Structure 1
């Protein structure tokens, strides 16, 4: 938590707020000003993003943050509607987690390098643990269970093969941001069995590349997987 002192420049405090929070502040201000009264629909995402001068993924994160706090309701296929003032809990906006788009960008950078390192340190036991995680994911999908724990296990097992405990910790920390309120809300809206099936196929491709001990192929497969995951639940 940032400590506020008398000598701290107020402009630096603003910079600590994540971009989606700043965008949410702007949309909230429009609602409070009366531009969009209770029950009204906000402009389409493309138009609102253009009006605010921001990207659509960042706006989408802001709108989901506003939905979590009760300021708006997102109705799939219909639009985003302003909620009654009695339902709003704006204090929640400060503890919703990192930007999912930025999170996936960071994971791509880190885990691509991790996969490359792991391919140079492959062991039969390590590959077996990765395979176990994939098999457990497949069973979760078939049974309609939450796949996230075994998805995490897959990525951690690969990080462990890198032989670098700092990277293992970093991969775990980045992955666990998917459990933040903002990321969880987005995931629950957009992830389903078909998307997890695609993720499983991507995991199997990463395992094949690791088995071949090909650093470039393993890195490429990991980056492609995380980019596809971002497309499925962050960008699309």
Structure 2
């Protein structure tokens, strides 16, 4: 037998693999409810956010259905490859990584941002407001805002890194998590957080810009980590 390439497994993927094997073995029959998120986290010795990412992955792959306010249920699955649909970055892990990098890019933008950078930042913020006013999730303006910040660094490695974050932001796991927890109210809160970042950068206050970015991403993480009871009842299929 030829040797196989060894690939690293993300933590949420390892959790999803264990649950998938239990479902395949009949430990959880079709229609059965999986243990609560907190109970799975305790049994597996991992964080609840990692369990949440695993459950979302299983839902994207068609193994379970999340019924907000009720639980996560095993569903009938058409015969197909039992492997994972993807091995993308976990959304909550991604937010934590962004906090580390983008806190510093915000500080750099405040310290060395030029007029053109500040103008790009202002245009992106205006686009976010306009998109939200139309009832559209302001993802394009959001991406433009964060890219305008990192562009001010004049560092190609940082630009590529933040670009990679945003490519992952459009992955199926993040999109499905957004289906549950992104609302008109959550975007209003996010825009206010972006305004605080914008104000600090315009004031050339690097410490305040770093702190404002940290607050924004901490709150973003909290929004996606909220109780399932706070999720939207009728998320898109």
TM-score by length of 1: 0.89
Shift of 1:31: 1.4
The Cα offsets for residues 64-97 of structure 1, whole Å up to 9 and x where unpaired, read as 1111111110001110001114377533x25251
Contact in 1 for aligned 2:137/2:187 (Cα 8 Å): no
Match of 1:25 among 3, 17, 34: 17
1:40 corresponds, among 28, 32, 36, to 32
Report the CA distance shift for 1:124/1:5 in structure 2 as closer, same or farther (over 3 A).
farther
Describe the shift of the 1:193–1:87 C-alpha distance in structure 2 as closer, same or farther (beyond 3 A).
farther
SS in 1 for 2:13: helix
Aligned residue among 60, 72, 96 for 1:105: 96
Residue of structure 2 in register with 1:165 after alignment:
156
1:232, distance to aligned residue in structure 2 (A): 1.1
Task: Give the corresponding residue for 1:60.
Answer: 52
Instruction: Decide whether aligned partners of structure 1 residues 24 and 234 sit closer, same or farther in structure 2, where only a CA change above 3 A counts.
Output: same
Residues 157-197 of structure 1, C-alpha deviation per residue, up to 9 Å, x if partnerless? 11111222221221111122111111111112211111111
Consecutive unaligned residues in structure 1, runs of 5 or more: none
Distance 2:21 2:160 in 1: 39
CA distance in 2, matches of 1:47, 1:88: 29
Greater helix content? 1
Confirm or deny that 1:51 pairs with 2:43: yes
How many pairs does the alignment contain? 227
In the alignment, is the contact (CA less than 8 A) between 1:65 and 1:96 conserved in 2? no
* CA deviation string 1:18-76 (max 9, x = no partner): 11111011111221222211111111211122122221110111011111111110001
Matched residue, 1:132:
123
Aligned partner of residue 112 in structure 2, secondary structure: coil
Using a 3 Å threshold, how does the CA distance of structure 1 residues 207 and 82 change in structure 2: closer, same or farther? same
CA distance in 2, matches of 1:101, 1:228: 12
- The residue that corresponds to 1:176 in the other structure is 167
Equivalent residues of 1:69, 1:88 under 8 A apart: no
For 1:112 and 1:66, the matched residues in 2 are separated by 32
State the alpha-carbon separation in 1 of the partners of residues 2 and 202 from structure 2.
54
Structure 1 residue 230, shift from structure 2 partner = 1.3
Which sections of structure 2, spanning at least 5 residues, go unmatched? 228-237
TM-score, normalised via structure 2 length: 0.89
Q: Is 1:223 matched up with 2:214? A: yes
Report what 2:231 is aligned to: none
* Cα distance change, pair 89–184 in 1 and its aligned pair in 2 (3 A): farther
Taking the aligned partners of 1:164 and 1:193, their CA distance within structure 2 comes to: 34
